[in-house]
Every structure is written in structure tokens, then in C-alpha cells.
């Protein structure tokens, strides 16, 4: 882990030293090109420590006014003092040397030395012999707090109405991991970080200028080719590299897809219960949401058709329905495709959890059964590798590729370079396939132990759903239990119980929990199940 962190930090600092212009995309040059800029060599790091540079010192914004009646040393003094009071400079931060600051603001060194002496004398600075000058630790917190409330004009602050339609983001809750049942968290200790960091370091040391400057809105062809080969073999997806777009996780994939396919006022079918962040994107786009019930066979599209409901698109998670975990049956998949073809609608297939299936043979993707190019297929590496990787992909019908590229280019032009190169090597060298096979076996064992303990401790009190695939199972509670209230108690006890009821949008909600087992060692599962039983009373 430490080697990965140091390698990526080095890559970040070195990458920032290469400036790339914002001109129109041009043809990529090969590594063997005679163009001297075709390969940018970055000097290798000589040791595990970074050298101390002026960039680690604080240079506040100081505007010198030579027409002012105030002496130069007083202007420097006032600028530092104001920055400390605003909270721009914090206790313990290193102050730039007098020589560096004098150079930066183009005055002689003498006024800077005089200002520093005054700041030291008044206790704003502190000097550490042989190390440097720092903002004093002894300053009262209220003087340096960056979190003080800013006075605003009376009345409401103007923001878009659409922003209120997004689900609230509780950062503190997201960043806190709670015990054995955290959802979406893989077994980080099993990931081959040594291999990953070596690949990252290699691409950081030898970046191609063309890749640093211009990448297709679709992403690097190398990684798209590897993903294409994987999807065709493992998921029976019909695609070529030109149909694949690299995105920042499945959320960006959904956002781009909605922008391309849907107009404000369009009706869309959603799974009920379903993914709340998907719901937020669609509501913010002005779509009219039509919840369609989900049962053990997946979204019941036939029920929607019997009711005479129409929609421009249906959003589904057929491999491991989120949150209930059920797998859509072949019959329902065919019904869904028939509906899309006969009505001219789109199917957006979010194939979450497809890498891990424990009972029975792998199930073909809906996209792989589609003979009429009505499916947009979305996948991510967040669960297979690690969530902060933020690399996902969209498989786009040929006739929509240009539209997707136009929207993507307007949003963020193209995806970041480094992790695409690393992922391409990770897949082409076989590391990805080996990791998936290893984790499928590990997660299968953890799932088996969790299900056995739930049955042993709870008996028939709980119903277990979706244990055939994915990295979580769902349990539903008998009447009289409120999952959100129990989840709050569990959170304060250090147990992560994700309640089921908030995933319902309309109609009566079932109460229960999503129990992640990816990061739960087998020997910790019995105690976690016991703690959960104690919370239920």
C-alpha cells in the first residue's frame, strides 16, 4: 500500500511539471516517432523521500503598492497578518524564506526581514533553529479558523431548483467505515498493490506527450480494446473498441446517458426499489419517473405494459438487482427487449455485480441478447478493484457514439490518462483475470459463512435475498421493525447496517438491511451477526 501511495504521489508531482496546450485533438504519434516530443522522459526519483523545495513554503498573496504612503515592510506585515486572521495561513505552516518572498514580490530583502522580525516579535511567527520560520502554533484558534460563518445578504441565496432534487450527500457517513457489513467495499488487503504501483510508476516515468495532451473523448484505445475483449468473453456483450467510452465510474456513465437519450418531461421506467442516485440524476434532468415493481425475476415490465404505461427508457440492474440482489430471468429479459423494440424505447443496463456469481452458470447480459441495438450497457471497476479508482465504461450503439462523444467533450473533454494505461497493462498481463478468480472464491466463502450464520442466529425471523451473486445480500425484517432507526443505533455501535426502506420511492416499503461481505473476514462474521441480533432485540 505504501509503495502505491508513494508511486502515485510521485506521478502527480511529476505530471504537473509537464504543460500541455488546449488545442484541437490531433493524430497520436507512435513511440518510435522521430519527433523529439513523442516521448517525455521524467527523471526517476532517487530515494523514498521527496526533496524540500520552495513549493512547500507558504507564499501569501501580497500586492505591493509603491504609490502608497505605507512603507514596504508594513505592507508585507499587514498582508501576512490579514492572511492569518482570514484563516488562509494555519498554525504550523512553513513560511517562505525572506529571500524567496523578496524575489517573488520584487522588492529588496531588507523590508521583508523587517516585517518578519515584527511578526516574530508579536507572536504571529515562530522560528525553529536550522529548520525555518512557521506560523505560530500558539495563536488562538478563533483567529485562524477557516470555518467561520460568512455574513451574507438577507434573504434566500439564488440557486437552481434542480439542485434540490439531488439526494443529500453525508460526507462524514460516507467516509466512516463500520465493521463487517459495509456495502461496496472490497477486500483491500487482497488487492495486488505491488503490481499496480509498479505499473503506475512505469507510466509516470515514461509518459507519451500525445497521451498527456490529447486523448479521445472515448478514452485510450489500448484500455478500450482490453475491456472489449473482457466483455465479449465474460459477459457476451456485442461490441468493438469504438463503441466503448471510459468514464469516471457508473455515475458519470448514467449522467452522460441521460443527457443523450432524454429530454425534460420524458417518462422513464425505474426499478422499485431502486438506486437512489440514479433517481436523483433523472429527476434533476426533468424526467417523469415511473416506478415498476421488482420481484424474484427482476423488473416486471409486463405489469407496466398491462397498465398502458409508456416510457422513453427503462433503467435496470439485471445481474444483481440493486438493492434486493435478485437476478432477472431470461423470460423477463426477452420481454424487456421486445418492449424496447416495439415501442422504440431504450434499455439502460447497469451491470453491477456481474463479476461475482456463486451459484449456477454466468448469465448472459441483456445487451448480448439485443439484436436491435436498443441497450446502453454500463459497467465499473469500483467493485472488482477499488472504489476510488473511479474508472467505468459505457458500451454505446454505433449510431449514438458521436452524440455521446459530443456530450462528453462538453462535460470534461476526455478521461484522465494514467489509470487508463495502468488498467490496460493490468488486464493485458492477466492480473485482472487472476484477481477476479481469486476474489470470486474468497467472496463465495464469506457469503456462505454469512448466510449460514444468519440462518443459525435468526432462524425464520429474516428472509435472505440475492445471495447468488454480487458483494452483498439483503435481508428483510418482520413487521414492527423500522430499519432506519435500527441502522442509526448500529452506526453508533460501529456496525454498518444499510437500511432497505429508503430505496423505495413510491408505495409501501419493505424494511431490512443490505449486508456487504466483501471486506468481512470469515472469523469476524459470527460476532457481527450476533451484534446485529442484539440490536433487533
What structural domains does the chain harbor? Answer: 58-147 (1.10.10.10), 171-186+434-536 (3.90.1150.10), 193-429 (3.40.640.10)
For residue 38, pLDDT beyond 90: no
Is residue 149's pLDDT more than 70?
no
Model confidence pTM above 0.85? no
Contact between 305 and 273 (Cβ < 8 Å): no
* pLDDT level of residue 155 (50, 70, 90 thresholds): low
Is pLDDT above 80 for 312? Answer: yes
Query: Is 378 in a helix, a strand, or coil?
Result: strand
Q: Is 32 exposed, middle or buried (0-12, 13-18, 19+ CB in 10 A)?
A: exposed
Per the listing, cell 431504450 goes with: 346
Q: What is the mean pLDDT of residues 418-434?
A: 95
Sign of CA dihedral 186, 188, 192, 197: positive
Q: Is the pLDDT of residue 522 over 90?
A: yes
C-alpha cell at 248: 469516471
Q: Could you read off the pLDDT of 454-492 as tens digits, one per residue?
A: 999 999 999 999 888 889 999 999 888 899 999 988 888
pLDDT of residue 58: 66
The pLDDT, as a whole number, for residue 169 is: 61
Residue 332 has pLDDT above 90, yes or no: yes
- The pLDDT tens digits of the residues spanning 213-268 come to 777 899 999 999 999 999 999 999 999 999 999 999 999 999 999 999 999 999 99
Is 6 or 21 the better-scoring residue by pLDDT?
6
Integer angstrom CA distances of residue 90 from 118, 133, 137? 18, 13, 8
The CA distances from residue 8 to 232, 264, 289, 389, 502, in Å, are 31, 41, 42, 12, 37
Tens digit of pLDDT for each residue in 83-121? 888 888 888 889 989 999 999 899 999 999 999 999 999
**Average pLDDT for the chain:** 83
The pLDDT of residue 30: 38
DSSP 112: H
Q: Are 416 and 433 in contact (CB under 8 A)?
A: no
The C-alpha atoms of residue 363 and residue 367 are separated, in whole angstroms, by 12
> What's the pLDDT score for residue 258?
97
- pLDDT for the residue 467: 87
**Residue 21 pLDDT:** 33
* Model confidence band, residue 294 (pLDDT cutoffs 50, 70, 90): very high
What is the percent of the chain where pLDDT is above 90? 58
The Cα 244–Cα 427 span in angstroms is: 16
- Reply yes or no on whether the pLDDT at 143 is more than 80: no
Which distant-in-sequence residues (6+ apart) come within 8 Å of 399 by Cβ?
A: 373
Highest mean pLDDT (candidates 77-86, 403-412, 485-494)? 403-412
Q: What is the three-class DSSP state of 380?
A: strand
Phi-psi sector, 521: left (phi>0), alpha (psi -120 to 50), beta = beta
Q: Answer whether residue 429 shows pLDDT above 60.
A: yes
Give the total residue count for the chain.
537
Q: What is the pLDDT of residue 494?
A: 80
Q: Which of 516, 503, 273, 513 is nearest to 383 (CA)?
A: 516
Distances (CA, A) of 231 to 239, 366, 471: 8, 12, 20
User: What is the residue-wise DSSP string for 481-507?
Assistant: --HHHHHHHHHHTT---EESGGG--SS
Match 435481508 to its residue by C-alpha cell: 475
Q: For residue 25, is pLDDT > 60?
A: no
For 290-313, give the DSSP string: EEEEEETTEE-HHHHHHTT---SE
Sheet strands (E) in 284-438: 288-295, 298-299, 313-316, 346-350, 375-380, 392-395
Q: Residue 51's pLDDT is what?
A: 39
Write b or e for each residue in 402-418: b if 16 or more Cβ atoms lie within 10 A of its Cβ, otherwise e.
eebbebbeeeeebbebb
Amino acid at each position: 500500500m505504501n509503495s502505491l501511495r508513494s508511486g502515485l504521489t510521485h506521478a502527480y508531482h511529476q505530471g504537473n511539471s509537464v504543460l500541455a496546450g488546449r488545442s484541437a485533438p490531433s493524430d497520436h504519434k507512435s513511440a518510435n516517432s522521430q519527433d523529439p516530443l513523442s516521448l517525455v522522459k521524467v527523471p526517476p526519483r532517487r530515494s523514498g523521500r521527496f526533496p524540500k523545495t520552495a513549493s512547500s513554503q507558504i507564499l501569501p498573496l501580497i500586492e505591493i503598492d509603491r504609490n502608497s504612503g505605507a512603507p514596504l515592510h508594513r505592507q508585507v506585515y499587514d498582508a501576512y497578518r490579514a492572511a492569518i486572521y482570514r484563516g488562509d495561513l494555519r498554525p504550523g505552516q512553513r513560511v517562505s524564506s525572506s529571500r524567496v518572498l523578496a524575489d517573488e514580490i520584487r522588492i529588496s530583502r531588507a523590508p521583508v526581514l523587517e516585517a518578519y522580525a515584527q511578526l516574530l516579535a508579536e507572536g504571529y511567527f515562530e522560528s525553529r533553529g536550522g529548520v525555518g520560520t512557521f506560523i505560530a502554533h500558539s495563536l488562538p484558534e478563533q483567529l485562524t479558523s477557516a470555518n467561520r460563518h460568512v455574513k451574507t445578504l438577507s434573504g434566500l441565496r439564488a440557486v437552481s431548483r434542480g439542485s434540490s432534487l439531488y439526494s443529500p450527500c453525508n460526507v462524514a457517513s460516507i467516509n466512516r467505515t463500520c465493521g463487517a457489513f459495509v456495502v461496496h467495499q472490497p477486500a483491500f488487503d487482497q488487492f495486488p498493490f505491488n503490481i499496480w504501483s509498479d505499473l503506475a510508476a512505469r507510466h509516470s516515468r515514461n509518459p507519451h506527450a500525445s497521451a498527456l495532451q490529447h486523448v479521445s473523448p472515448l478514452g485510450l484505445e489500448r484500455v478500450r480494446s482490453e475491456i472489449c475483449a473482457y466483455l465479449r468473453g465474460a459477459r457476451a456483450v456485442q461490441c468493438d473498441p469504438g463503441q466503448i467510452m471510459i468514464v469516471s465510474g457508473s455515475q458519470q456513465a448514467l449522467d452522460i446517458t441521460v443527457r443523450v437519450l432524454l429530454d425534460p418531461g420524458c417518462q422513464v421506467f425505474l426499478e422499485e426499489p431502486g438506486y437512489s442516485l440514479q433517481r436523483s440524476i433523472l429527476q434533476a434532468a426533468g424526467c417523469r419517473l415511473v416506478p415498476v415493481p421488482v420481484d424474484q425475476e427482476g423488473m416486471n415490465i409486463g405489469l407496466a405494459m398491462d397498465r398502458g404505461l409508456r416510457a422513453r427508457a427503462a433503467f435496470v440492474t439485471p445481474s444483481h438487482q440493486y438493492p434486493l440482489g435478485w437476478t432477472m430471468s431470461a423470460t423477463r429479459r426477452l420481454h424487456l427487449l421486445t418492449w424496447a423494440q416495439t415501442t422504440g424505447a431504450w434499455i439502460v443496463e447497469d451491470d453491477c455485480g456481474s463479476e461475482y456469481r456463486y451459484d449456477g452458470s454466468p448469465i448472459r447480459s441483456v445487451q448480448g441478447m439485443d439484436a436491435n441495438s436498443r441497450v446502453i450497457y454500463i459497467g465499473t471497476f469500483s467493485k472488482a478493484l477499488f472504489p476510488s479508482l473511479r474508472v467505468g465504461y459505457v458500451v454505446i450503439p454505433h449510431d449514438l457514439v458521436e452524440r455521446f462523444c459530443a456530450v462528453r467533450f462538453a462535460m470534461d473533454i476526455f478521461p484522465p490518462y494514467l489509470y487508463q494505461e495502468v488498467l490496460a497493462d493490468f488486464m493485458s498481463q492477466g492480473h485482472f483475470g487472476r484477481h477476479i478468480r481469486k476474489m470470486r472464491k474468497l467472496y463465495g466463502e464469506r457469503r456462505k459463512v454469512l448466510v449460514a450464520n444468519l440462518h443459525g442466529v435468526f432462524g425464520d425471523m429474516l428472509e435472505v435475498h440475492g445471495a447468488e451473486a454480487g458483494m452483498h445480500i439483503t435481508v428483510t425484517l418482520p413487521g414492527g421493525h423500522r430499519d432506519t432507526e435500527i441502522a442509526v443505533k448500529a452506526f453508533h455501535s460501529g456496525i454498518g447496517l444499510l437500511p432497505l426502506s429508503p430505496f423505495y420511492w413510491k408505495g409501501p416499503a419493505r424494511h431490512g438491511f443490505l449486508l456487504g461481505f466483501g471486506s468481512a473476514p470469515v472469523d469476524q462474521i459470527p460476532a457481527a451477526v450476533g451484534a446485529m441480533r442484539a440490536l433487533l432485540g
